[in-house]
Chain A
Amino acid sequence: NAGVTQTPKFQVLKTGQSMTLQCAQDMNHEYMSWYRQDPGMGLRLIHYSVGAGITDQGEVPNGYNVSRSTTEDFPLRLLSAAPSQTSVYFCASNARDRTPYEQYFGPGTRLTVT
């Protein structure tokens, strides 16, 4: 199993540009989440999903959209990039039928907005 994969690993955007961060998992996990981590800080939850077709907002959802059309994929869309969105983005997944917080994290996408 590849686990949780994220693309791209690095990205530089100009203010106002849009893009999609990709996340995929091959463990058939029901739950998926997106977090951001600013320098020297802990992770903050952006959006999460408990299954295909179901998404909800986390702690810092503004400026981001998500969709969950399949179990495997959970893309994160930046609508109009701002310098405040410069961060490292982590995607995570976990199985519903186990203790829910044994989350598996991807390697992260490092985004810089200029």
Chain B
Amino acid sequence: DAKTTQPPSMDCAEGRAANLPCNHSTISGNEYVYWYRQIHSQGPQYIIHGLKNNETNEMASLIITEDRKSSTLILPHATLRDTAVYYCIVRAKAAGNKLTFGGGTRVLVKP
């Protein structure tokens, strides 16, 4: 698995966009970037994933740099309910159902 590096914590103002960076400089060509989040005391929740192209769904947008060595998860209009730990995970599709969670970024959305 490619190692990922995320800032340990960040604050965001309610209603503003939250941009969460992730470095994965050793990513291989067949590895996807996945984002999960874990709201306090709950199980992790899948957010989004991507390979090369930018992706958007109802929860967030994922921007992957052209060299794929880093990515940014964007929460367009952060709400208090978005306060959580966000995990960036890099893994090959063929590697089975094993996820490796690192430390993640603890995001605090403030009113």
Contact = CB atoms under 8 A, between A and B. Distances in A.
Interface residues of B, number: 24
Nearest to A106: B43
Interface residues of A, number: 27
Given A92-B43, A101-B91, A108-B42, A58 B98 contact: yes
Contacts of A103: 36, 44, 46, 97, 99
A44 B87 CA distance: 13
Secondary structure of the A side of the interface?
strand
Interface in A41-66: 41-45, 48, 50, 58-59
A79 B56 CA distance: 44
Interface of A: 4, 31-33, 35, 41-45, 48, 50, 58-59, 90, 92, 94, 99-108
